Amino acid sequence: MPYTIFAYNCIMNRITINILFLFLVACAPSQKNSETLVNGRNIITRNAMVVSAHPQASYIGASILARGGNAVDAAVATELALAVCYPEAGNLGGGGFMVIRKADGKSFVIDYREKAPGSASRDMFIDGDGNVPEGVSTDTHLASGVPGTPDGMITANSRHGRLPFRDVIQPAIDLAKNGFRITAIQASDLNSNRENFINRNSVNTAFVKDGPWKEGDLLVQEDLARTLERIRDNGREGFYSGVTALLIEEEMKRGNGVISRQDLLTYSASEREPLTSAYRGYRIITVPPPSGGGVILIQLLKMTEQYNFGEWGFNSYQAIHLIAEAERRAFADRAEHLGDPDFMNVRVSQLLDTGYLRSRMSTFDPERATSSADILPGAPGAYSSEQTTHYSVVDKDGNAVSATTTLNGTFGSSIVVQGAGFLLNNQMDDFSVKPGLPNMYGLAGGEINAVSSGKKMLSSMTPVIVEKDGKLFFVAGSPGGSTIPTTVYQIITNVIDYGMGIQESVDAGRFHHQWLPDMITFEKSRIDNTASAALREMGHVLRERSSIGRVSAIMIRADGTIEGGADKRGDNTSCGF
């Protein structure tokens, strides 16, 4: 089928990103495509699309689609490419969640979240005086959970892909070997993290060069290419045993880390039942625990569904007040009631019970902010910066993938496995390392999310797929730590309650409340002064932030064409045909 480009809403943006793209793909692995790919922001195609945080990864994913791969093949190729060209968050050493919706309407979740090592224990981050020394759960070898991404990608490909794994991993190998041109944002990310790379690694890494990085510099990762080749040639054994496992073991010894050979051998990704719910007649498909993101998202949708806030005006003070109050209540529940369901009793159906959620909103005062001190976690059952990355894929048959993956902090712990070229995550900080003490996103949690051997740390990642009339409607997700579920909630309500297209929904201003600290953070210059003054008047504390989230989304429009929603807050790019 010939490719078609329909509309461009933001010509300047498109021109800028296309110049950047042409520059960046100049050394992309050569692909024999039967389709010509279009890319940028504000693009609409007829057949298929990938939106991710980096132009190279979107290009690689879309190339796989053009060669006849399905959405899962493209997702795996995109994620492995992100592990090379977006080391801030793309990874082999991290983990994530993938939602798959097949064209026949069946949906699946692949949980490849990291696990605590076997020797991890509840008080491993607490010293003899009962304090938590700063940085141990974020900046050291102990910060790393057992990586899940390699097995997650192999599982997704073997159960749901169409192309052989070696075909979907090869573009990432070529990218690591030949190098890629970094963007201006990446030059700044690498320069700001320079000291961490130097201080936390005993040898030089690919991420540090003699002088400062500049936009357009070539980043080559030979060790990473060899690790990817071992995975290509040996499957999961290429990472979880053999040479790579040995290199991880040696890295752990060097830095007093605790991930063992046995931890690697026994890690496996799992398939879980998706979490689903209705919202104003649409069907929401998202992730269950050990991500709390899906539960928070559905709680927010259900708590606010009884109000027609679409008529109150977009980002009006009344709508922001309502949503912030729902967020306050949802995040209070998160702290007390969400953790790894393989270890703890997580009462998902009670937390999502409509009667329970209505009762949570019974203290909502349309005129005044409630104080978070007065909002305790509920009793469900009584009623019948950071860097992560999200990509979205839709193929020409209507299969879709929504996946969020992370190392936790930007570049994870900044520790590179010597000889293997990939960064270790610092996901252990997502546990409540000392119950009650807030983590790096200010999220407090209780015993339910305490550290335990082999347990998964609670996540906020919220990949989502939305159906309309039983058909695929849109795919979305975002990074942003605690702000992920509230960002995804706003993408959904922007479309459903405010009638926005997907790029418009992604561009729109965002805000966030997470119970504690008791404040609404909002994007500077995206919420008008009258609304912020009215919210302060109602008793809310407001704090400006330069940006919240970096969404990658795709929508199927009424005429069947496909619209990309690529966030200009980052280098996010849509690519399709």
Q: Which residues of this chain interact with ligand DON, rule CB under 6 A?
A: 385-388, 406, 408, 427, 430, 459-461, 479-481, 484
Smallest distance from the beta carbon of 509 to ligand DON, in angstroms?
18
Residues assigned a catalytic role? 388
**Rounded distance, CA 267 to CA 249, Å?**
15
Smallest distance from the beta carbon of 478 to ligand DON, in angstroms?
8
Cβ–Cβ under 8 Å, residues 514 and 443? yes
Measured CA to CA in angstroms, residue 119 lies from 123, 146, 147, 253, 445 at distances of 11, 12, 15, 14, 22
Q: How many other C-beta atoms can be found within 10 angstroms of the C-beta atom of residue 221?
A: 24
**Rounded distance, CA 342 to CA 490, Å?**
30
Nearer to ligand DON by Cβ, of 7 and 437: the residue is 437
Nearer to ligand DON by Cβ, of 170 and 427: the residue is 427
Nearer to ligand DON by Cβ, of 139 and 467: the residue is 139
Nearer to ligand DON by Cβ, of 39 and 410: the residue is 410
Cβ–Cβ under 8 Å, residues 150 and 242? no
Q: How many other C-beta atoms can be found within 10 angstroms of the C-beta atom of residue 368?
A: 13
Nearer to ligand DON by Cβ, of 29 and 409: the residue is 409
Smallest distance from the beta carbon of 138 to ligand DON, in angstroms?
11
Q: How many other C-beta atoms can be found within 10 angstroms of the C-beta atom of residue 170?
A: 19
Cβ–Cβ under 8 Å, residues 268 and 151? yes
Nearest in space to 479 (alpha carbons), one of 63, 279, 268, 189: 189
Any idea what DSSP says for residue 317? H
Nearer to ligand DON by Cβ, of 137 and 459: the residue is 459
Smallest distance from the beta carbon of 188 to ligand DON, in angstroms?
16
Nearer to ligand DON by Cβ, of 456 and 540: the residue is 456
In the chain, % helix, strand, coil (3-state, to 5) comes to 40, 15, 45
Residue 554, beta-bridge partner list: 475, 564
φ, ψ of residue 139 to 5 degrees: the values are: -120, 5
Nearer to ligand DON by Cβ, of 480 and 564: the residue is 480
Any idea what DSSP says for residue 169? H
Smallest distance from the beta carbon of 505 to ligand DON, in angstroms?
19
Smallest distance from the beta carbon of 386 to ligand DON, in angstroms?
3
Contact residues for 136 (Cβ-Cβ < 8 A; gap 6+): 125, 142, 143
Smallest distance from the beta carbon of 430 to ligand DON, in angstroms?
5
> Buried b / exposed e across 438-467, counting CB within 10 Å, b at 16+?
bbbbebbbbebbbbbebbbbbbbbbbbbbb
